Structure 1
Amino acid sequence: MASDNLIQHVPASSGGRSSSTFAADFASSVVVFLVAIPLCLGIAVASGVPVAMGLISGIVGGLVVGAIAGSPLQVSGPAAGLAVIVFGFVEQYGVAALGPVLVAAGAIQILAGFLRIGSWFRAISPAVVHGMLAGIGILIILGQIHVLMDSKPAAGGIQNVVAIEGSVEKLWHDGITTQTLALMVGVASLLAMIGWEKFRPAKLKLVPGALIGVAFGTLLAVGFALPIARVNLPASLLDGISIPGASDFMRLTEPGIFVTVLVIAIIASAETLLSAAAVDRMHDGERTKYNKELFAQGIGNGICGMLGALPITGVIVRSSANIQAGAKTRLSAVMHGAWVLALVALLPQLLGVVPLTALAAVLLVTGWRLVSLHHVRHLFDQHGWVPVGIWFATVSLVVTQDLLIGVGVGLALSIAEIVPYLRRRLHIETAETEDEIYLNLTGAATAKSIPALLNLLEKLPASQPVRLTAPDLHYLDHTCAETISEWVQRETRAGRRVIVEYASSESSERHHRVDPQLRRFYSEAAA
């Protein structure tokens, strides 16, 4: 154990180590840049705004948020999860009203960071978070089906379903139409992307499928000189910057706009911290400082608002590419922002040949991944029907009604699940010996216990074995069970020995028979 600690704390100050770290970050930044470009363009299209706004957000997410982020390997930029919200907002209030909304939402995120409430976002039920993302994914798919056919999407899910017949009819007027050509290029891009991700050579595993799909669609459109819609960029990136005026900020007093401020602040924060938690599970290095990450996102969104760009969050697609490419520090995220800036400043004409239908193909895949049916199977296998029901209710209402309604109902259902146990507190008894740290949980472990529980778990001395017991734990909800399981898995990967003991007393067995969640949790921990 002592030798492990010595190895772990050797400072990386030698020239060789520094140069190797820089080389790894440099290579990773190029990979993230190749992933980010089609997503920045595509999310702007899905948001119903000029593509320059997506590129500006990508630059800010890299250069600004990357430099001050609390999650060392997370990459920030425009997120598909907010595209649906922005699209509906812009349709109703106009693009000019978006800047002040982002400034206000960023201020809320900064305040949340200062008030240290970042950990409370982790107490949101996974069923609600993934249900929200799945609903957004379905809305993205329904909208981008129209873009794939060179038609304009509607603002809502039901409206897009109704409008599909009209978009399809445009494919068959007097022979081959531009809509038909767009659909052919879009489908070719989609097949190229899926085929690359399924069959790509091992030596080229870091080349993103989105880049291949967009490149293939672009080659088809340019090679055959097809008259289909392309990316429209201003002559200069500075022309794409639209600083909001005083009259725009005065509109924040309008009820609908103020509600959007709260929605973007909450959804952007939740998506960022969800992504950060997933990023932490992918590596064994420095953990996310959640309140610092909220502060950084607030700064980034405030700057995006002042530049007239799109809202940003921490995004899992770019972050996972960053980690898989071998990134070591946040420098990779910063450099990827510099590459986006360089491309837009030096070679904007290169982006101007990209067909919109190819970007729609990228977003169709992105939307499908947000739906994440494997998470539903995980919820059912590990936690039963209740969280699956919460997930389904959230998805249904996000798609058919409104994102705020869907998330609100999902949160209400998740709270209703634990109402009978809210009066019972979770008590955590700790004891430390030379060999182990003992943690004993008693009472009821619900979502409200998560901030205090995580604060304790994440402050435990590194590498020392932990024995977790809960002989008198009466209740464990699925949110708390997921949180503990993820911590156990992460610490085990990092080399810590964690023992979860199943209580054998007669009274404890009776509690476990009453609460199937406890049985599932112990079974998973034992496995």
Structure 2
Amino acid sequence: MTANTQREGSTASGHLGSVLRHDLPASLVVFLVAVPLSLGIAVASGAPLIAGLVAAVVGGVVGGAFGGSAVQVSGPAAGLALVVFDLVQTYGWRATCTITLLAGALQLLLGVFRVARAALAVSPAVVHGMLAGVGAVIALSQLHVVLGGSPQSSAIENISELPAQLLTHHPGGVWVGVITVAVLVLWARTPPPLRAVPAPLAALLVAALVAAVFRLDVTRVDLAGSIQGWQSPLWPQGDWHALAGAVLLVALLAGVESLLCSVGVDKLHDGPRADLDRELTGQGMANMVSGALGGLPVAGVIVRSTTNVRAGGRSRWSAVLHGVWVLVFTACLAWAVQLIPMEALAALLVFTGVKMIDLGHIPNLRGHGEVPVYVMTFGGVALLGLAEGVLIGLGLAALLALRRLTWVTVQLNPRPDGRWHVLIGGSLTFLGVPRITAALRLLPAGAAVDLDLNIDFMDNAAFEAIHAWRLGHERGGGTVDIDEMHDEWYAMAAGGDRMFPAKTPPLVPERWWLPRAHRQRRRNLAGADAGGGPHPAPESGPVQITTGEEPVPGLLAGAGEFHRRTAHLVRPFLTRMARKQEPVHLFITCSDSRVVPNLITASGPGDLFTVRNLGNLVPRYGEAGTDDSVVAAVEYATRVLGVRTITVCGHSGCAAMTTLLEGGGDPAAELPGLRRWLRHADPSMAAFEAAGEGDRSPALDRLCRSNASQQLANLRTYPVVEELVTEGRLELVALYFDIATARVHVLGREGSGFAHAGEASSAPGIHLALGVKSPAHHGGTSEE
């Protein structure tokens, strides 16, 4: 008990030290950024200036303490300024505070029901377009303030009134605005000591100083009057449908912005990841408190959060302390705000609005075909309004996603023998029926057609279209052979079976390449996580294998799994290969259970003609003794199957080579068959000893590699192999599989009929099929 107490005290002491060393300085930096931005956003929102500072205090203290992100900083967000401005014009400021409070309650409810992840379904193109549109509107409206005028009610009116504002003579405000923007732009190029002061704060200080020294005619900020005129929230008057829509809009926009900010900030630090449901709950609590106290809506702000991370903030204490500093400033230094020209705040907002139009997202959006979503959202927000623009963007994003998900490809390829090969791919729905039928009508009547369906879904309309075409084509004397490469959607529909409710699952079982024991353990863990124990096996399935009344163990269980999950996927290919095999590789490797030829060469059925034995040995011609299995395989592969490559694959940690290094030892003495078989490795041992210890790798690894290369020389003692290699019709390759690193090395190649060194990427030889790179020269070594 004493030890635990000391450990906890040490942990608490260490946490306090981290707060003092990292979070406290970071909170001061964020505070200096937050104050001018909060005042500027209040101006853009048409709210009292104090409302921006109240939101900053509440966002820092409440949002930081109860939110789900360790380093995110919340406060008034520029992205909500347009919504708040419209609400203030429609309902008045006090009623807008009530809407903020109700929106917070809705966010709190959504967080309790754990729906935060759903917000991530919003297309980033919509979010970026919305922020860009808001930035453009803010910049246009505040530009009028810099020029001595007043913002208009829409972006179009702001643009139309701009020429008249430019012609109006307001030198004082214009100079303050120009100086503010200049400082913001050039501050990053100042010496490092100066850059310790945040650029927004520096810009306002310089603008205030210039205005005071030259006694420019500017409008001053009056925060004292805002504090004295505080009033409690008031219930909005008007249609409750519009009120509910306003609450929903504020809740969703603030929530989505906060959650996306959390995800973005997570990429900037290595600390705990954000709990999005808790973050949404914390934002709801902050908005309820902010609305009750007369503050702006609160959301996670990417500028403050990024500043916090870069300043060294590591825990939620930096956000909380930043709120405390804003509160102290409001209570003790409110008079200092009166020194700031209103034109400087407007210029700060113009600069902020322009920065929100971040064109750096365009290349990524262009690559995914989402630029139209960005443009339409931007235009909708700027010209129609925030809600309208977001709805337009969401609708267009949904249409584009539907188009991609239902896009159908149809390829018609005539063959020299007169047959036609047709490949239809994608998700076949009623939307793709016109394209499918138009393509199928191009096929000549009476033609023999091989139709491959590489699809993951087929609805009834698509089935009816393909089936009707097939019946009509066959009535006209043609033939149609349908091969379903993904799943039997057509066959099931034609047979009247019940169709799957959704798209076909992935082609292969999850992590099919893991050993069976690992897969079973993963299932048990998954079952325990889902509800207290492993899930029972299904009572019925396509195939059941049983042995008496006992559960089926081992390989028989694997056969059952093959029937349930894989057989229908490979059946079309195996059916075509059922009467004849045409491999192009003879693959000779060790019997070691850790070496899986098809896995390490990414090969499938029909690719490899495989021989396995202890030590991947090839007896020299005439020395096989009573074991002719390797000789028979070589002869059959070269004379009957006509393989073009013989590959010998050794591996690390080979038990046969270990026995050789140990000089036989007890295992060989107790296993006479092994002793006789290992005599065929004598040339490998001789080559190993002759090579010496120039290579510093362990002796066993050197012997395993030497043994694999030696087998190529052994193969050339076979007359049929020597003849084919000399004629350039056969290539010999030695591979080495390093089990610990799961890497395949090319040790050497003999023969030049198919792939010269450095040409494996285009030649049809072993290197394409195995997926390994050619060595720099014969006898070289390379890695995949």
What is the TM-score normalised by the length of structure 2?
Answer: 0.51
- What does 1:185-334 correspond to in 2, within 5 Å? 185-197=176-188, 199-234=189-224, 237=227, 239-245=228-234, 248-249=235-236, 251=237, 253-334=239-320
Structure 2 unaligned blocks of 5 or more: 1-6, 407-501, 520-528, 531-568, 570-600, 605-784
Which position in structure 2 is the counterpart of 1:510? none
Which position in structure 2 is the counterpart of 1:118? 116
> Are the structure 2 counterparts of residues 11 and 163 from structure 1 closer, same or farther at C-alpha, using a change threshold of 3 Å?
farther
Q: Which is worse superposed, 365-374 or 72-81?
A: 365-374
Which residue identity is paired with 1:243? S
Which residue identity is paired with 2:253? I
CA distance in 2: counterparts of 1:234 and 1:425, whole angstroms: 65
Q: CA deviation at 1:399?
A: 0.8
- What does 1:87-126 correspond to in 2, within 5 Å? 87-126=85-124
Q: Which is worse superposed, 148-157 or 228-237?
A: 228-237
Cα deviation 1:170-204 (Å, max 9, x = unaligned)? 22xxxxxxx3210111111110111002x022344
Which position in structure 2 is the counterpart of 1:515? none
Which residue identity is paired with 1:390? V
Q: CA deviation at 1:256?
A: 3.0
Q: CA deviation at 1:98?
A: 0.3
- What does 1:320-399 correspond to in 2, within 5 Å? 320-381=306-367, 383=368, 386-399=369-382
SS in 1 for 2:300: strand
SS in 2 for 1:96: helix
Q: CA deviation at 1:73?
A: 0.3
Q: CA deviation at 1:230?
A: 1.3
Q: Note if contact 2:50-2:226 (Cα within 8 Å) is conserved in structure 1.
A: no
CA distance in 2: counterparts of 1:244 and 1:349, whole angstroms: 25
> Are the structure 2 counterparts of residues 374 and 290 from structure 1 closer, same or farther at C-alpha, using a change threshold of 3 Å?
same
CA distance in 1: counterparts of 2:153 and 2:193, whole angstroms: 42
Which position in structure 2 is the counterpart of 1:447? none
Q: CA deviation at 1:235?
A: 5.4
> Are the structure 2 counterparts of residues 429 and 58 from structure 1 closer, same or farther at C-alpha, using a change threshold of 3 Å?
farther
Which position in structure 2 is the counterpart of 1:416? 399
Cα deviation 1:136-178 (Å, max 9, x = unaligned)? 111111111111113210121111111212322322xxxxxxx
Number of aligned pairs? 421
CA distance in 2: counterparts of 1:279 and 1:380, whole angstroms: 24
SS in 1 for 2:121: coil
Task: Pick the aligned partner of 1:67 from 65, 80, 94.
Answer: 65
Q: Note if contact 1:62-1:75 (Cα within 8 Å) is conserved in structure 2.
A: yes
Cα deviation 1:439-488 (Å, max 9, x = unaligned)? xxxxxxxxxxxxxxxx99xxxxxxxxxxxxxxx9xxxxxxxxxxxxxxxx
Q: CA deviation at 1:100?
A: 1.3
> Are the structure 2 counterparts of residues 205 and 166 from structure 1 closer, same or farther at C-alpha, using a change threshold of 3 Å?
same
Cα deviation 1:239-292 (Å, max 9, x = unaligned)? 3532124xx25x374333332211111111111111111100100111111011
CA distance in 1: counterparts of 2:139 and 2:505, whole angstroms: 42
Q: Note if contact 1:91-1:155 (Cα within 8 Å) is conserved in structure 2.
A: no
> Are the structure 2 counterparts of residues 67 and 375 from structure 1 closer, same or farther at C-alpha, using a change threshold of 3 Å?
same
Q: Note if contact 1:128-1:411 (Cα within 8 Å) is conserved in structure 2.
A: yes
> Are the structure 2 counterparts of residues 504 and 241 from structure 1 closer, same or farther at C-alpha, using a change threshold of 3 Å?
farther
Which position in structure 1 is the counterpart of 2:141? 143
SS in 2 for 1:352: helix
Q: Note if contact 2:49-2:226 (Cα within 8 Å) is conserved in structure 1.
A: no
Q: Note if contact 1:101-1:252 (Cα within 8 Å) is conserved in structure 2.
A: no
Q: CA deviation at 1:79?
A: 0.5
Q: Note if contact 2:218-2:341 (Cα within 8 Å) is conserved in structure 1.
A: yes
Q: CA deviation at 1:367?
A: 1.1
CA distance in 1: counterparts of 2:174 and 2:29, whole angstroms: 28
CA distance in 1: counterparts of 2:356 and 2:53, whole angstroms: 22
CA distance in 1: counterparts of 2:602 and 2:374, whole angstroms: 34
CA distance in 1: counterparts of 2:364 and 2:307, whole angstroms: 24
Q: Which is worse superposed, 287-296 or 146-155?
A: 146-155
* Structure with the greater alpha carbon radius of gyration: 2
Q: CA deviation at 1:28?
A: 0.2
SS in 2 for 1:60: helix
SS in 2 for 1:399: helix
CA distance in 1: counterparts of 2:602 and 2:165, whole angstroms: 63
CA distance in 1: counterparts of 2:391 and 2:36, whole angstroms: 32
> Are the structure 2 counterparts of residues 242 and 15 from structure 1 closer, same or farther at C-alpha, using a change threshold of 3 Å?
same
Structure 1 unaligned blocks of 5 or more: 1-8, 172-178, 439-454, 457-471, 473-502, 507-527
Q: Note if contact 1:114-1:291 (Cα within 8 Å) is conserved in structure 2.
A: yes
Q: Note if contact 1:99-1:305 (Cα within 8 Å) is conserved in structure 2.
A: yes
Task: Pick the aligned partner of 2:129 from 118, 128, 131.
Answer: 131
> Are the structure 2 counterparts of residues 263 and 349 from structure 1 closer, same or farther at C-alpha, using a change threshold of 3 Å?
same
Q: Note if contact 2:101-2:288 (Cα within 8 Å) is conserved in structure 1.
A: yes
Q: CA deviation at 1:78?
A: 0.4
Work out whether 1:34 is the aligned partner of 2:32: yes
> Are the structure 2 counterparts of residues 425 and 31 from structure 1 closer, same or farther at C-alpha, using a change threshold of 3 Å?
farther
Q: CA deviation at 1:426?
A: 6.5
Q: Note if contact 1:50-1:232 (Cα within 8 Å) is conserved in structure 2.
A: no
CA distance in 1: counterparts of 2:10 and 2:399, whole angstroms: 50
CA distance in 2: counterparts of 1:282 and 1:252, whole angstroms: 45
Cα deviation 1:285-324 (Å, max 9, x = unaligned)? 1111101111111111111111121111000000000000
Task: Pick the aligned partner of 2:383 from 382, 392, 400.
Answer: 400
CA distance in 1: counterparts of 2:229 and 2:353, whole angstroms: 27
Q: CA deviation at 1:430?
A: 4.6
Q: Note if contact 1:244-1:308 (Cα within 8 Å) is conserved in structure 2.
A: yes
CA distance in 1: counterparts of 2:324 and 2:335, whole angstroms: 18
Which position in structure 2 is the counterpart of 1:512? none
CA distance in 1: counterparts of 2:505 and 2:349, whole angstroms: 43
Which residue identity is paired with 1:209? A
CA distance in 1: counterparts of 2:162 and 2:125, whole angstroms: 30
Q: Note if contact 1:206-1:325 (Cα within 8 Å) is conserved in structure 2.
A: no
Task: Pick the aligned partner of 2:23 from 3, 15, 25.
Answer: 25
CA distance in 2: counterparts of 1:256 and 1:150, whole angstroms: 34
> Are the structure 2 counterparts of residues 252 and 320 from structure 1 closer, same or farther at C-alpha, using a change threshold of 3 Å?
farther
Q: Note if contact 1:33-1:336 (Cα within 8 Å) is conserved in structure 2.
A: yes
CA distance in 1: counterparts of 2:110 and 2:344, whole angstroms: 38
Cα deviation 1:106-152 (Å, max 9, x = unaligned)? 11111110111100111111111111111111111111111111321
Cα deviation 1:496-523 (Å, max 9, x = unaligned)? xxxxxxx9899xxxxxxxxxxxxxxxxx
Q: CA deviation at 1:10?
A: 12
Which position in structure 2 is the counterpart of 1:497? none
CA distance in 1: counterparts of 2:107 and 2:163, whole angstroms: 42
CA distance in 1: counterparts of 2:509 and 2:86, whole angstroms: 49
